[in-house]
């Protein structure tokens, strides 16, 4: 599957504020595919860590999953793995955690 294939399904490129609103409404489950050390250093509250290095699409929690990483590259790779496994996700945070921080949104540290 390619990015174009993902776009053929309802795949949302979330902007930080839209993701913040979806999280506040409890309408999405946020899955962070960064490595554990990165996740521990800075993360969005409520995110679940499933690192790309050992990513298993079948381990995703049930629900409307939104993926995120540092800048968006690894979350797109994870989205492709999900699509190949027949488990498409709702979308990903465009620009990753960097975009979230640049938007002035809160992160948990340490």
**Residue 106 neighbours by CB under 8 Å, 6+ apart:** 44, 45
> What pTM value is reported for the model?
0.91
Q: Does domain 3-109 have CATH number 3.40.250.10?
A: yes
Domains of the chain, by residue range, sit at 3-109
Q: Provide mean pLDDT across the span 22-36.
A: 97
- What is the spatial distance between Cα 29 and Cα 63, in angstroms, rounded to a whole number? 7
Distances (CA, A) of 57 to 7, 29, 41, 60, 69: 18, 14, 24, 6, 15
The model's pLDDT over 80-90, given as tens digits with 9 standing for 90+, comes to 999 899 888 99
Q: Provide mean pLDDT across the span 76-82.
A: 94
């Amino acid at each position: 599957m390619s990015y174009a294939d993902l776009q053929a399904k309802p795949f949302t490129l979330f902007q930080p504020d839209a993701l913040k609103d979806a999280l506040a409404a409890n309408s999405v489950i946020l899955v962070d595919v960064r490595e554990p050390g990165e996740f521990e250093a800075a993360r969005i509250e409520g995110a679940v860590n499933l690192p790309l290095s050992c990513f298993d699409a079948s381990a995703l929690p049930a629900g409307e999953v939104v993926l995120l990483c540092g800048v968006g590259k690894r979350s797109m790779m994870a989205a492709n793995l999900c699509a190949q496994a027949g488990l498409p996700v709702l979308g990903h945070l465009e620009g990753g955690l960097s975009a979230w921080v640049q938007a002035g949104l809160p992160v948990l540290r340490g």
